[in-house]
Amino acid sequence: MFMFVKSNRIITDQGMISGILNIDEGRIIEILPPTARVAIDIDAEDHRILPGIIDTHNHGTMGYGLMGEQENPEAVVRGYLKGLASQGVTACLPTADFSLFEAIVKVAQGPIGGAKPIGIHSEGPYLNRVGEKGIDTGHPDIDLQHVQDMIDTAQGMLKLVAIAPELPGAKAAIELLSSQGVRCAFAHSNALYQEALTSFDWGITVTTHTANVMEGIHHRRMGGLGACLLNDEVYNELICDGLHVANEMIELMLRVKKNPYDRFMMVSDNVPMAGAPIGRYHLSGMFDINIDEQGYCLSDTGRLCGSTLPVIRGIRNLAENLHLPLTEIVKMSSRNPALVYGATHKGRLAAGMDADFIIIDEDYQVLKTFSEGHCVYDAETDTDLFNPEFLKACAC
């Protein structure tokens, strides 16, 4: 059944245009001129329509977390995907503990009332560096059988595994994962410039939340970050909220990287506290977490522990504070992750693409989210999405 969605400001490959999205069976058939004589189903007027966000690094949101043992893991996954939709995310790589893999696979096989999982991301377990103000508690030894178990349990959905390449056995793990179609990411690493470049030769193709939890750039010692930016082939995740990476550093990174709008991928690194009130929270089996007025998510030692601000806030930051054009920003928030992780029918508003799009207001608040032509979030009706059990269990 055809649906016609009109806006004076649609972000496409050709720029911002006025037009009508002609949608049928979950795909964009064509973008009609605004004067086309059709029955308009949704008139967004001057509200902007953007390609749906594809967040490939997200541990949780709205009180739903993909870590630890869960009493009802499928319900947690569904609540998480609905929460993502409220933040303009139409597709994602749930960044999950191994214990949640089976639930994600099962949920992905049926109808989804939220963001669509296009794979699974495992950040670890083989990580090393803990970052500024963190406490090093060691790391597990790399176990190739566990790596294979991750691949098998995900049933083809494992798309990305983040690993510190300086750990013993990392090269063999990277080669095993790469041989079975799983990308590997440079993550939580103490590796210096040359070590990082060597790991790219082993098969690493992505860098995890680039600049965060890696050896930084010094004028006499480049560090892993220098390798991430100067290597032309590797793709770079980037948290663009202006808190995890200073805006001046974001601008520097975009200037240094060759073809930056083709290589950076915006991510949130959100945790279950995303969307929670300011306060102190205790996660079972972990340390206490503090959320402050700016949106920082910090341990008691001051270490950054993920993020509470979604990708749409990063889009706002890049557009309003760094004055980047939305036509370039959406390449990093939508097009690039779609291409990197094989969802080539997503990430752009064009004929033949999935009808994944969001309608936002002037303050970048998400009004509606559509995944494959279905409205999976409406700000007027979806008003109570935060997990009440989270606040009961975790609020200190």
DSSP state for residue 165 in the 8-state scheme: T
Residue of 168, 166, 165, 162 lying closest to 182 (CA atoms): 162
Dist CA 41 CA 376 (whole Å)? 16
Residue 363 designated active-site: no
User: 69-118: per-residue pLDDT in tens?
Assistant: 888 999 999 999 999 999 999 999 999 999 999 999 999 999 999 999 99
Residue 188 labeled ligand binder: yes
Q: Where are the domains of the chain?
A: 3-50+351-378, 54-275+314-340
Residues 6 or more apart in contact with residue 348 via CB below 8 angstroms: 12, 13, 51, 334, 335, 338
DSSP string, 36-67: -----SEE-TTSEEEEPEEEEEE-EETTEESS
DSSP state for residue 372 in the 8-state scheme: T
Contact 196, 229 (CB under 8 A): no
What CATH class has 3-50+351-378?
A: mainly beta
User: 346-395: per-residue pLDDT in tens?
Assistant: 999 999 999 999 999 999 999 999 999 999 999 999 999 999 888 777 76
Q: Does domain 54-275+314-340 have CATH number 3.40.50.10300?
A: no
The alpha carbon dihedral of 381, 275, 126, 145 has a sign of negative
User: 335-360: per-residue pLDDT in tens?
Assistant: 999 999 999 999 999 999 999 999 99
Residue 123 labeled ligand binder: yes
The pTM assigned to this predicted structure is: 0.95
Does the fold of domain 54-275+314-340 match that of domain 3-50+351-378? no
Q: Which of 269, 354, 356, 382 is catalytic?
A: 269
| Whole-number pLDDT of residue 26 | 97
SS (H, E, C) 332-346: HHHHHHHHHCCCCCC
| Whole-number pLDDT of residue 391 | 77
Residue 362 labeled ligand binder: no
